[in-house]
A and B are shown apart, each in its own frame.
Chain A
């Protein structure tokens, strides 16, 4: 093969122009664009959170277009690897260099808390799409949450335990903010209902081995075991629970929806059938909004199912779009947060709204039971606790 020098150079130029055209975003006028900085753990142990949320955000834009309030919404995704000081630096860079109007994402509690001072200082709304410790929204007046708070999902779980006639329960939680939230909220509510928490076990967050803790449960033989572990660890607990034969010894396993996580549920096997949990979202939620969401998600990402992380990301963008429409495209941080307060809409999870006082989410908490439908495992909702506020902040308000 002999190319003359000119053709080769011509071809090279052609290729580089094509490459440039690919990477250069459509040159829209700067004032017509609202940038959203999406900071997520895309690598590392919490990578599944980042994957679910980034896919859901892409899906929201694919389904609803990129225009809101007359502005084009542009998303910049950054990977913080789940490390707090990186999250904070990325947030600063996004504000300073990319001039983003909204920060979003935040896979874990420390990541959201580390960024809180930045959003206060720069007056930029921080939409928390995943982290679930109750106190997060108090860290900055610019934080708005579209995921859930652990106590919100846990208090109904305690009521459910009482209703089922369980008197003695052991709690098993991961040893970090949300886990301790869950343990406290469950303990307080369950004791108030007249039950006893015979032991409150805490498992290290990283590299957890549940075996010694589950052995303790086997020795004590409570009526039921309440479990909270972060998204991604549920399958491991259930596997070890079954391996020790606890399911046959009469100890009922239940927890928040983090346990039968939709992301992993279908691979957990038939042993989980009948597992009950309380949560704000199930991929099996019977509504047209959810059907459209799940169908589109599965179509865009074959072989995957959206979980509560995905819906948090999806609703985070719904919130940003609605706020922009309310301000008619004004992306000033303070005005956006004001616009977000009190917004209400029907999400794939069901009706939800943003509490104007706490900027936290108000939503239904559903009781779900794992069932096999059409050969797949789903969290089928059986009843609902309507319009649940975060109990921790609600209790503070009363004082």
Chain B
């Protein structure tokens, strides 16, 4: 195969390479089929699944700026929280339709993202960490002070969220919540697939790897970064809105620092710069947290921390290779065993 492609002219070859990258893999299709299929099974876990889908969406949004554009952020919760409060305040004032609420949340978060992106453009990584952290803290304190609007530290009371598409109301089992959150995640990932494989996405990666060189070859670095930051803010706003709608509640906690830190952890676990890393990380993180905290409600954080240390020390790549090797050996072994029976 390499023989054929290497005989092609370079532009054609690059084109084929990129098209190959953007192609749907069976693993990807399989993942979505299983994810949607879960709506019919394990009914008792749907609440947890919904939470995972929301966290995954939030992590995917951070991945746009961290994994693709190379902007480090410790304040991504600002957009998440703004999205949550937007739908929360709308729902409290009688506008409970989930989809329009979702759109509004994305819009407000996007506007904030656009304006704060100018701050983020300035300075290096360390400055960016501080600025993003600062913006999130400012928003947190504003929400705390505006207690007539946000309910302050007690949280937003009396949200009435309507049924999705006018038909599916949120049930106790969380099935609607799960399908709704997963659908939004799916649509967003579909859109982002196009974005990251477009010239725009490649420009972002060029900027991440070497901003100076990217500028030298004619990429408008600042404009690309502003666009990426705004896009990520919109997606984070969606995630926040989903959380508020599915839980029927928003409190200062949605703007808290630990949200920004958690989503960073998720991305570290799942791997950044590959769209599905956030989703994988969210699945691993939440399942681990749920399983361990059921066994030991007091000390689960210790085990999560231990896992992270191991992950970082051993390196994700190495763990993946080991995992692949185990699966690669186990499958034939199982097949042999079956055959022996």
Residues of chain A having any CB pair with chain B under 8 Å: 40, 42-43, 50-51, 77-79, 83-85, 88-89, 92-93, 95-97, 109-110, 113-114, 117-118, 121-122, 133, 139, 175-177, 204-205
Contacts and interface: CB of A to CB of B under 8 A. Distances in A.
Contacts of B172: 92, 95-96, 118, 121-122
A97 B174 CA distance: 12
A84 B251 contact: yes
16 contacts: A50-B298, A78-B297, A79-B293, A79-B298, A79-B300, A84-B155, A84-B249, A85-B251, A88-B248, A93-B44, A95-B172, A110-B154, A110-B251, A117-B248, A175-B144, A175-B153
B144 A96 contact: no
A40 B254 CA distance: 19
Interface string B39-63: 0000011011001000000000000
A148 B281 CA distance: 42
Contacts of B297: 40, 42, 77-79
A118 B301 CA distance: 27
B333 interface: no
B125 interface: no
Provide the main secondary structure of the chain B interface: helix
Interface string B286-327: 000000011001101100000000000000000000000000
B247 interface: yes
B313 to A, nearest CB: 24
Interface string B150-180: 0011110100000000000000111000000
B251 A114 contact: yes
Smallest CB-CB A-B distances: 9 pairs: A176-B153, A79-B297, A110-B155, A97-B44, A85-B247, A177-B154, A114-B249, A42-B297, A84-B251
B253 interface: yes
Given A110-B155, A176-B153, A177-B154, A96 B251 contact: no
A88 to B, nearest CB: 5
A122 B155 CA distance: 22
A113 B298 contact: no
Contacts of A133: 154
Contacts of B144: 175, 204
Provide the main secondary structure of the chain A interface: helix
Contacts of A89: 47-48, 51, 174, 247
A79 B301 CA distance: 11
Given A79-B300, A89-B247, A113 B293 contact: no
A109 B300 contact: no
A376 B172 CA distance: 50
A175 B172 CA distance: 33
A117 B156 CA distance: 13
Contacts of B294: 78
Contact of A43 (B173, B251, B301): B301
Nearest to A114: B249
Given A93-B48, A96-B44, A176-B154, 6 more contacts: A84-B155, A89-B51, A110-B253, A121-B172, A139-B157, A176-B153
Given A88-B247, A121-B172, A42 B298 contact: yes
A177 B48 CA distance: 29
A159 to B, nearest CB: 27
A50 B293 CA distance: 14
Contacts of A92: 47, 172-174
B236 interface: no
A118 B170 CA distance: 12
Nearest to A179: B153
A113 B154 CA distance: 8
B206 interface: no
B249 A85 contact: yes
A83 B253 contact: yes
A332 to B, nearest CB: 17
B175 to A, nearest CB: 10
Contacts of A139: 157
Contacts of A204: 144
A203 B19 CA distance: 58
Contacts of A96: 44, 47, 172-173
B87 interface: no
Nearest to B154: A177
A109 B154 contact: yes
Interface in B238-272: 243, 247-249, 251, 253-254
Contacts of A109: 154
Contacts of B47: 89, 92-93, 96
A84 B243 CA distance: 11
Contacts of B48: 89, 93
A114 B173 contact: no
B310 to A, nearest CB: 21
